[in-house]
């Protein structure tokens, strides 16, 4: 058994609360269990209880065995001085408070409903894709939908920590931070770090100075990426290389190392060269991209911002000097959906939160609800369990549920898991 099960029992009072008494014989009445503390310190803050008619307000600490109070060093930690009740599975030793006698203790061993205990152990010991797979379909639909709504916000909040770090690194410069994260997004999983390094080596203010001419933007993007160091036989890459050498000398630019870029196991449509060409095109066509994202009213306008064709050279090339039918046209819908999910919505959501603009937070959520979900093995497995994502927002929520709750066996912190504990 985990201590989290005691938290669950106490928080929701899912144990026999009739005729409660502490181990030293005091009558106990729980007026309020307090607020669960997820940080250091006692497990529950600001609880209110009545002991033999006397009202007490303070904190509650929980352990499977009472002696863990000493093993964890709580006897010398002043943060535990205001504990008014020690809740344990078993009291294997009385715990004394320095100068104030024995700490009142409640044992739960004989107060847990047998059926609830069986359900808990079944969840703990299941080896399915998710612990509650055999009973998942029994969870109330309203409970599931409400929980997914909360998980979507939780996932967005988690992604905004990246936004906060970028803002700190750029001196709270929203446009530069957004530009860096957009570059990171274009790398998807394989080339995220090279794209991120490119954005650091090629600041947005420099790109903006030359954005009116696509060849100059491409020369800086490909030059800083390290792709213009080789000799070329074709006119277009030679022109880019010549343009880059001029800008490199003028602005003291230092290119990155090309071996950082990964092509292995990628389809030509996903090659970093083609993604760089698409990235350059977006920068060329949008003077104030971050402002345009904030002003976009719906997914149609968002797609318009991102779906620009690269230069003609890339219509029949997938690498410099390599022709092929896989040339880059406009980015596909699946790719744009990933950019919106991983870059645009976290940025707009965080901006709305920081600026206290709930309409922008709602806009980010509406964008996710307006897109179809991703197609991946996790969401397909959820669908096989009877929980098919209806839109990208639910898809994100189900990914959050699987990775942060099911895989970590945090069933007692999950609304679906606790609903199934009967």
Distances (CA, A) of 389 to 148, 156, 371: 10, 17, 11
Distances 44 to 37, 58, 90, 162 between C-alpha atoms, Å: 5, 9, 19, 30
Question: Which ranges of 52-113 would DSSP assign to H, the alpha helix?
Answer: 68-71
Return the residue matching tokens 């409903």. 113
Q: Is residue 85 a contact partner of residue 106, using CB atoms and an 8 Å limit?
A: yes
Where does residue 210 rank: exposed (0-12), middle (13-18), buried (19+ CB within 10 A)?
A: middle
Quote the CA–CA distance of 91 and 396 in Å, as a whole number.
Answer: 43
Q: Give the separation between CA 381 and CA 129, rounded to whole angstroms.
A: 9
Cβ-based neighbours of 74, under 8 Å, separated by 6 or more: 61, 80, 83
C-alpha span between 395 and 403 (Å, rounded):
12
- pLDDT at residue 327 tops 80: no
DSSP 330: S
Beta bridge partners of 49: 30, 56
* b/e per residue 150-179 (b: at least 16 CB within 10 A): ebbbbbbeebbebbeebbeebeebbebbbb
Q: Which two tokens stand for residue 56?
A: 């007490």
Helix axes 272-285, 192-201, angle to 10 degrees: 40
296 or 421, greater pLDDT: 296
pLDDT, residue 19, reads 94
Conformational region of residue 378, where left means phi above 0, alpha means psi within -120 to 50, and beta covers everything else: alpha
Residue 258 reports pLDDT greater than 90:
no
What integer is the mean pLDDT of 25-33? 96
Q: How confident is the model at residue 253 (pLDDT cuts 50, 70, 90)?
A: very high
Judge whether residue 396 has pLDDT over 90: yes
Beta-ladder partners of 96: 102
Sign (positive or negative) of CA dihedral 180, 182, 185, 191:
negative
HEC per residue, 175-192: HHHHHHHHHHHHCCCCCH
Residues 181, 166: contact at Cβ < 8 Å?
A: yes
Instruction: Give dist(CA 7, CA 166) in Å, integer.
Output: 36
56, β-bridge pairs: 49
Contact by Cβ (8 Å): 217, 287: no
123-156 tens-digit pLDDT:
888 788 999 998 888 889 999 999 999 999 999 9
HSE value, Cβ hemisphere, 13 Å, CA-based, for 100: 10
DSSP 341: I
Instruction: Give the C-alpha distances (Å, rounded to integers) separating 141 from 184, 366, 379.
Output: 37, 21, 18
Please list, in sequence order, all residues whose beta carbon lies within 8 angstroms of the beta carbon of residue 411, skipping any fewer than 6 positions away: 123, 124, 131, 132, 405, 417, 418
CB 206 within 8 A of CB 186: no
pLDDT at residue 124, as a whole number: 84
Give the pair of three-digit tokens for residue 313.
Answer: 């050279």
Q: What are phi and psi of 307, to 5 degrees?
A: -100, 70
- 166: nearest Cα among 191, 190, 183, 188: 183
DSSP 8-state assignment for residue 372 = P
CB 219 within 8 A of CB 209: no
Average pLDDT, integer, range 373-398 = 95
| Mean pLDDT of the chain, nearest integer | 93
Per residue in 212-222, pLDDT tens? 999 999 999 99
6-22 pLDDT, tens per residue? 999 999 999 999 999 99
**Which residues does residue 57 pair with via DSSP β-bridges, in sequence order?**
48
pLDDT value of position 326: 61
Q: In this model, does residue 56 exceed pLDDT 60? A: yes
Binned at pLDDT 50, 70 and 90, residue 332 comes out as confident
In eight-state DSSP terms, residue 99 is T
d(CA 16, CA 139): 24
- Average confidence (pLDDT) over 338-358: 96
Q: pLDDT band at residue 328, thresholds of 50, 70 and 90? A: low
Two structure tokens written together for 272: 């970093």
94 with 66: CB under 8 angstroms? yes
């Amino acid at each position: 058994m985990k201590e989290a099960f005691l938290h669950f029992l106490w928080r929701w009072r899912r144990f026999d609360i009739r005729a409660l008494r502490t181990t030293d014989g005091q009558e106990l009445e729980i007026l309020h269990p307090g607020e669960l503390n997820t940080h250091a310190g006692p497990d529950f803050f600001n609880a209110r209880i009545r002991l033999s008619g006397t009202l007490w307000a303070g904190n509650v600490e929980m352990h499977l065995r009472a002696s863990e109070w000493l093993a964890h060093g709580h006897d010398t930690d002043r943060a535990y001085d205001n504990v008014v009740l020690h809740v344990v599975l078993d009291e294997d030793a009385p715990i004394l408070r320095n100068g104030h006698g024995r700490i009142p203790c409640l044992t739960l061993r004989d107060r847990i409903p047998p059926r609830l205990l069986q359900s808990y152990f079944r969840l703990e010991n299941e080896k399915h894709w998710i612990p509650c797979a055999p009973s998942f379909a029994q969870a109330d639909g309203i409970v599931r939908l409400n929980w997914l709504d909360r998980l979507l916000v939780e996932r967005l909040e988690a992604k905004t920590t990246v936004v906060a770090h970028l803002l700190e690194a750029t001196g709270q410069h929203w446009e530069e931070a957004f530009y860096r994260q957009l570059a990171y997004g274009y790398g998807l999983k394989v080339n995220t770090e090279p794209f991120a390094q490119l954005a650091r080596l090629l600041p947005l203010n420099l790109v903006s100075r030359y954005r009116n001419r696509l060849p100059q933007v491409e020369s800086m993007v490909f030059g800083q990426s390290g792709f213009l160091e080789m000799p070329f036989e074709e006119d277009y890459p030679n022109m880019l290389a010549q343009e880059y050498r001029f800008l490199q000398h003028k602005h003291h630019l230092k290119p990155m190392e090309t071996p950082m870029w990964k092509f292995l196991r990628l389809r030509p449509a996903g090659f970093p060269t083609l993604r760089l060409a698409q990235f350059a095109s977006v920068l060329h066509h949008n003077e104030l991209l971050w402002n345009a994202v904030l002003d976009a009213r719906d997914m149609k306008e968002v797609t318009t911002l991102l779906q620009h064709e690269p230069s003609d050279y890339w219509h029949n090339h997938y690498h410099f000097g390599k022709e092929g039918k896989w040339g880059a046209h406009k980015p596909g819908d699946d790719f744009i959906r990933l950019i919106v999910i991983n870059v645009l919505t976290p940025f707009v959501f965080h901006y709305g939160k920081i600026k206290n603009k709930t309409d922008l937070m709602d806009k980010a959520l509406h964008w996710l609800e307006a897109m179809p979900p991703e197609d991946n093995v996790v969401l397909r497995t959820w669908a096989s369990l009877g929980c098919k994502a209806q839109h990208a927002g639910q898809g994100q929520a189900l990914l959050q549920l699987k990775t942060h709750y099911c895989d970590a066996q945090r069933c007692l912190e999950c609304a679906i898991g606790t609903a199934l504990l009967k």
